[in-house]
């Protein structure tokens, strides 16, 4: 495939560099002043121009600086001030890449001078030859990375002498020598140079060509290894090319990703119309391929739920699936979170905690457990509580899971207050986490159930460019998306989206409608300010677990712990009458 210029980047031979050096009255940019500026403009090895001037610092030059640089106070009498010099230098350097040896020093003084003069700083890309030298000049070749040492090592035509223009000319030769050493590492374009000094293994950096040709658009990328194996699936909401390139720089600090990059043989892009579609496709591809280097979202079918069993004496169980007609909450991100939700219900209701299935009539000779002795269980296993007497307990648990969580919230808030008064803060935090796990799991189950009951929903949101992002949702699953420019009538696009959208069959259970995290993404998108409902066909009623109940829970906990309050969950989606079709 023939790459475009924007995909190749800017070759270093076409980059205009301005190599700059300063002499100053000291080493502190906030307090000291510039006494001399020297700069050389080069491109492709050719000198295009030079800039040199003394600068009146507005005061005497310290004696040790006069000895070091040879610039005396008398030499600066009548020299232009930095206010007169800076605009000329910035115009000389406009559109270039600034280069300096120990760039933080030189660029720091220039930025400080611009700030004092209220002059906007252009935001140059900066290259530090000291950092480049540390990457390619080992200690056994040069004792240090000072400008004089490197100039002698590379045979610079000018010897540095602590005068700005001479030092800048020497730095030009050092820069060209360093770029020559970096070329075998694959540093041949300006975009490569920006990360050339990063501590990245050479074999990893050389594989950055895997990003060549990737589009500058949102989407999903798949790193493929030997045998076409999908090693890793990732997402970029803005630019696939820039995101993949970051894996070959110091921005990527995960050791397992470095291992993955070494195995990768190519990167396949999947361009998406919007960031939402990109995130959803990432989840689906991870679930489909289960890449070994992805740790999240690989097996949604194994996410744990908390279910109230269907038997004469129901109990709570952590399971991998849900059944029709049973109360359940979740799914949870981990089994430990599901267990915390179970513990929250056990701490609130005297539901039995034994794991065996109990008959309707207790066998003779059965013994009660410790929980029965302390009043935390009615002991149905011994006949101390029959099915009719146990029914209110299971009904209260079912109501908390599928409806109103206030009993759980109030019980835990009271416990937290008691523990805080007793200064048992770690225990109070554990109680808070237990209650939070339950409330989040209950809210997730209810929101997902209502999303899965909606046959079709079309919503729209304004883009930053003034157009419309259109989203088609069927039974809690993304069925289609499109981005409409500002000058285009969105109505025909909506009709086309509905006609060509993915067919999604009505799920037998809400849990099977879509990947749980996909439904979370869609609900979060719909909750954004400015999202408009275009069409609705099906039920989308307000969850019984209201946002106000969640806020009450968060407030109770935050007050008890004397901590800043924050809602545990986002507000719920707007309501619509069951079975209605709405067009706006």
What's the domain count of the chain?
A: 4
Q: Tell me: do 312 and 281 sit in the same domain.
A: no
Q: How far apart are CA 297 and CA 77, in angstroms?
A: 70
Which entry of 101, 119, 145, 162 is annotated as an active-site residue? 162
Same domain? For 141 and 210 the reply is no
Domain boundary among 192, 209, 226: 192
Domain that residue 473 falls in: 447-583
DSSP label of 395: H
Known catalytic residue: 162? yes
Residues 170 and 244 reside in one and the same domain: no
CB atoms inside a 10 Å sphere around CB 58: 10
Q: Are residues 10 and 151 in the same domain?
A: yes
**401 membership: H or E segment, kind and range:** helix 387-402
Question: Are residue 155 and residue 246 in the same domain, yes or no?
Answer: no
Question: pTM (2 decimals)?
Answer: 0.63
Same domain, 283 and 160: no
Same domain, 165 and 227: no
Omega prior to 331 cis, within 30 of 0: yes
| Domain co-membership, 176 together with 214 | no
**Is the domain of 462 the same as that of 557?**
yes
At which of 175, 192, 209 does a domain end? 192
- Looking at 267, 298, 329, the residue that finishes a domain is 298
584 residues of the chain, pLDDT tens digit each = 333 334 446 889 999 999 999 999 999 999 999 999 999 999 999 999 999 999 999 999 999 999 999 999 999 999 999 999 999 999 999 999 999 999 999 999 999 999 999 999 998 999 999 999 988 898 889 999 999 999 999 999 999 999 999 999 999 999 999 999 888 877 887 877 776 766 667 777 778 888 888 999 999 999 999 999 999 999 999 999 989 988 887 667 777 888 899 999 999 999 999 999 999 999 999 999 999 999 877 777 788 999 998 888 888 999 988 877 788 998 998 999 999 999 999 999 988 887 766 666 655 655 566 566 556 666 566 655 677 888 898 899 999 998 888 999 999 999 999 999 999 999 999 999 999 999 999 999 988 888 888 899 999 999 888 899 999 999 999 999 999 998 888 889 999 999 999 999 888 777 777 888 999 999 999 989 989 988 887 554 433 344 444 455 555 444 444 433 333 333 333 333 334 333 33
Cα torsion 134, 137, 139, 140 to 10°: value is 170
The verdict on 269 and 373 lying in the same domain is no
Q: Select from 436, 431, 476, 426 the least CA-distant residue to 456.
A: 476
Q: Strand order of the sheet with strand 97-100?
A: 46-54, 34-43, 16-24, 97-100, 126-128
Q: Are both 409 and 514 inside the same structural domain? A: no
CATH code for the domain in which residue 281 is found? 3.40.1440.10
Q: Are residues 335 and 229 in the same domain?
A: no
Q: What is the CATH number of the domain that holds 110?
A: 3.30.420.10
């Amino acid at each position: 495939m023939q790459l475009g210029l924007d995909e190749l980047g800017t070759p270093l031979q076409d980059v205009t560099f301005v190599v700059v050096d300063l002499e100053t009255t000291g080493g502190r940019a906030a307090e000291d002043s510039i006494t001399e500026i020297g700069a050389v403009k080069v491109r492709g090895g050719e000198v295009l121009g030079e800039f040199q001037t003394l600068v009146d610092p507005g005061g005497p030059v310290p004696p040790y600086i006069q000895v070091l640089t040879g610039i005396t106070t008398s030499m600066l009498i009548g020299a232009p001030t930095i206010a007169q010099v800076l605009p000329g230098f910035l115009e000389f350097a406009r559109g270039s890449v600034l280069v300096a040896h120990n760039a933080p020093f030189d660029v720091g003084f220039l930025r400080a001078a611009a700030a004092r003069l209220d002059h906007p700083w252009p935001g140059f890309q900066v290259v530090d030859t000291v950092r480049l030298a540390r990457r390619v000049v080992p200690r056994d070749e040069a004792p240090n990375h000072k400008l004089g040492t490197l100039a002698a090592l590379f045979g610079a035509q000018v010897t540095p002498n602590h005068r700005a223009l001479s030092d800048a000319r020497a730095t030009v030769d050092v820069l060209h020598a360093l770029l020559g050493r970096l070329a075998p590492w694959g540093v041949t374009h300006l975009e490569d140079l920006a990360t050339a000094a990063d501590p990245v293994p050479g074999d990893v950096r050389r594989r950055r060509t895997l990003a060549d040709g990737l589009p500058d658009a949102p989407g999903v990328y798949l790193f493929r290894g030997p045998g076409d194996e999908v090693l890793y699936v990732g997402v970029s909401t803005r630019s696939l090319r820039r995101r993949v390139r970051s894996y070959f720089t110091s921005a990527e600090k995960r050791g397992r990703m470095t291992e993955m990059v070494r195995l990768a043989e190519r990167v396949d892009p999947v361009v998406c119309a919007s960031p939402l579609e990109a995130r959803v496709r990432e989840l689906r591809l991870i679930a489909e391929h289960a890449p070994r280097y992805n740790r999240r979202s690989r097996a949604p079918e194994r996410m744990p739920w908390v279910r109230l069993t269907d038997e004469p004496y129901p109990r709570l169980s952590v399971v991998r699936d849900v059944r029709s007609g049973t109360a359940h909450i979740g799914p949870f991100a981990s089994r430990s979170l599901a267990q915390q939700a179970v513990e929250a219900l056990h701490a609130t209701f005297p539901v039995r905690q034994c794991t065996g299935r109990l008959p309707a009539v207790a066998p003779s000779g059965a013994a009660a457990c410790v929980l029965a002795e302390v009043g935390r269980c009615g002991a149905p296993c011994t006949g101390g509580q029959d099915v009719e007497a146990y029914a209110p307990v299971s009904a209260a648990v079912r109501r908390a899971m599928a409806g109103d969580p206030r009993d759980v919230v109030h019980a835990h808030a009271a416990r937290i207050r008691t523990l805080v008064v007793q200064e048992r803060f770690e225990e109070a935090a554990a109680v808070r986490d237990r209650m939070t796990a339950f409330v989040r799991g209950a809210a997730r189950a209810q929101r997902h159930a209502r999303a899965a009951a909606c046959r079709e929903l079309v919503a729209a949101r304004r883009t930053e460019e003034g157009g419309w992002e259109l989203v088609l949702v069927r039974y809690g699953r993304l069925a289609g998306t499109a981005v409409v420019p500002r000058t285009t009538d969105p109505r025909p696009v909506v009709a086309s989206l509905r006609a060509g959208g993915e067919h999604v069959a009505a799920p037998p259970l809400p849990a099977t409608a879509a990947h749980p995290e996909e439904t979370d993404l869609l609900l979060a998108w719909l909750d954004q300010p400015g999202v408009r409902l275009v069409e609705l066909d099906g039920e989308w009623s307000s969850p019984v677990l209201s946002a106000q109940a969640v806020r009450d829970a968060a407030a109770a906990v935050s007050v008890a712990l004397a901590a800043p309050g924050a809602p545990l969950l986002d507000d719920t989606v707007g309501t619509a009458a069951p079975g209605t079709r709405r067009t706006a």
